[in-house]
């Protein structure tokens, strides 16, 4: 996640449940939540926002 955050300053790093390719559409219920990323590409501590629509994959 740290490497991904560095690619997205002033953005978000999403936690995705499942395997999706870079061109795949990720359904909202597969997104567990997201971490905010600051201007220099660091994850902002305590910034995780859980997705209330998230549904864990069965069998976990």
Give the model's pLDDT for residue 49: 98
The C-alpha atoms of residue 9 and residue 20 are separated, in whole angstroms, by 22
Asked if residue 60 has pLDDT above 60, the reply is no
Distances (CA, A) of 60 to 50, 54, 56: 18, 14, 8
Asked if residue 58 has pLDDT above 80, the reply is no
Considering the entire predicted model, what is its pTM? 0.82
Domain boundaries in the chain?
A: 2-50
Give the model's pLDDT for residue 21: 86
What backbone phi and psi angles, to 5 degrees, belong to 14?
A: -95, 145
> 6-32, pLDDT tens digit by residue?
999 999 999 999 888 889 999 999 999
């Amino acid at each position: 996640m740290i490497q991904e955050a560095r690619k997205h300053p002033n953005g978000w790093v999403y936690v995705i449940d499942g395997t999706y390719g870079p061109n795949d559409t990720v359904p909202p219920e597969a997104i567990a939540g997201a971490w905010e990323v600051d201007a220099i590409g660091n994850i902002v501590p305590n910034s995780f926002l859980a997705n209330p629509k998230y549904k864990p994959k069965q069998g976990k």
